Amino acid sequence: MVAVHSRLDRLASRTLGGHLLLALGAAVLLLLLSTQIGAYDNYNLTAVAIFAVAAAGLNLLTGLNGQLSLGHGALMAIGAYTASLLLKDHELPVVLVLLLSVLSTGLIGIVFGYAAARLRGPYLAGATLTLAVALPQVATRYKSIFGGESGLTVPPTTPPAWLGPDFPPERWLAWIAVAAAVVTFVLLANLLRSSAGRAFRAVRDNEAAAALAGIDVARTQVLAFVISAACAGLAGALFAYWSGVTAPAGFGVTLSLQLVTAIVIGGLGSLAGAVWGSLVLVFVPSLTSGMASTLNVPSAIANNLPLAIYGGILVIAMLVAPHGIQGTLTRILTIGRARWGHTPAGGQKGVVDWDDPASDP
């Protein structure tokens, strides 16, 4: 117990400066990493960063505020289409495109947020799931604007001249995505430490008690939705650059469900959990398809084995590690510290909770 307390104290004392330092360290490490790996791995690194942004936003909404969204893929679509439409006729700086995408998704998030704040549990799940199914159809329907089934092509971002003529564009995109993810995480980590973060949790734990404590429950829920939507918008815009084309098929129900999977497998309610979850999303399928292709089995089996394994992993993970990766790690660390009675000094990259582990459900 003592060890846990000292850990909490340490966490509580971590301030904006601390977050920034940690973030800067992570960013530098990742950027260095990106120079050491090939195009394909940079591509994967970008994907991890993108999913981490979206999953962090969803984790704020679902894990910390208790609103289950099965339609976050649709919000990513809004970000992606915003970016693609902006880039259709103009050449705009990446930062501007990303910011405008965040803005547009956030604005639409206000509308959805007000609707969502009235709904609970499975009803919210049903409404957001329908959103995930319906929104891509709008893009199909209004062909002249959204390009129909084939979608809109997105021109790649060219690395700036000062990086030299041979700088690989995949690495440049990875840098952008990693930078965006790090900024997002710093902002979210500070938000969660603020009174808004406490309000999110209070509403999740007990709406009636939160209301009695003077928290405006509906406003808190809308705020959580808007922030979460903004993250999804950012992820969507990055996704547009990453895939080079924005089409309805890329934003089906599967994407939304993958994001929910990521936060539950990673660890509900913690930002680190979002990172774990996106690592799982990106690497487990590629690992399993790699495995399946080395096996000497008929193609009907080899083609479907990755999905079967993925589904099996979800089932088994929920049976054996119901608190997700982050929750399980936190437990192991807590038990370990309590047993050996010492606190490892730093050096626990990737296992850091950016928010309060005691709040994990």
Partner 1 sequence: MSRFFVLSLNGLTQGAIYAAMALALVMIWRATQVINFAQGAMAMFTTYLALFAIDHGVPYWLAFLVALSSGLILGAIVERVIVRPVESAPPLNVVILTLGLLLFLEALAPMLFGGQIRSFPPAFSIVGLHFGNSQVAFSPFDAFTLGSVLAVMVLLLVLFQKTDLGLRMRAAAFNPDVSRLLGIRVGRMLTLGWSLASLVGALAGVLIAPSLLLYPTFMDQVLVFGFTGAVLGGLDSAVGAVVGGLLMGFALSYVGGYLGSDLETVGALVILIAVLMVRPRGLFSRHRLRQA
Binding residues for partner 1 (CB under 8 A): 62, 68, 115, 118-123, 125-127, 129-131, 133-134, 137-138, 140-141, 253, 257, 260-261, 264-265, 268, 300-301, 303-308, 310-315, 317-319, 322, 361
Tokens 């990693």 found at: 178
> DSSP assignment, residue 160?
P
Nearer to partner 1, 68 or 210 (CB): 68
- In the complex with partner 1, the residue whose CB is nearer, 34 or 270, is 270
- Under 8 Å between Cβ of 225 and 116: yes
Q: What one-character-per-residue DSSP string does 197-218 give? A: HHHHHHHHH-HHHHHHTT--HH
Considering only the C-alpha atoms of the chain, give the largest distance between any 2 of them, rounded to a whole number of Å: 65
Q: How far apart are CA 21 and CA 269, in angstroms?
A: 22
Closest to partner 1 by CB, 15 vs 137, is 137
Compare residues 88 and 120 and give the one whose CB is closer to partner 1: 120
Q: How far is the CB of 232 from partner 1 (least distance, A)?
A: 18
* Cβ-based nearer residue to partner 1, 49 or 129: 129
CB of 64 to partner 1, least distance (A): 13
Residues 72 and 274: their CA atoms lie apart, in Å, by 14
Smallest gap, in angstroms, from Cβ of residue 115 to partner 1? 6
Q: How far apart are CA 170 and CA 150, in angstroms?
A: 23
Block residue for tokens 């000292």? 6
Question: Are 229 and 108 in contact, with CB atoms under 8 Å apart?
Answer: yes
Supply the minimum distance, in Å, between the C-beta of residue 300 and partner 1.
Answer: 5
Q: Which C-beta is closer to partner 1: that of 56 or that of 180?
A: 56
Tell me how far, at minimum, the Cβ of 240 lies from partner 1, in Å: 22
- Classify the phi-psi angles of 26: left when phi > 0, otherwise alpha if psi is within -120 to 50, otherwise beta: alpha
Question: What is the closest distance, in whole angstroms, from the C-beta atom of residue 127 to partner 1 in the complex?
Answer: 6
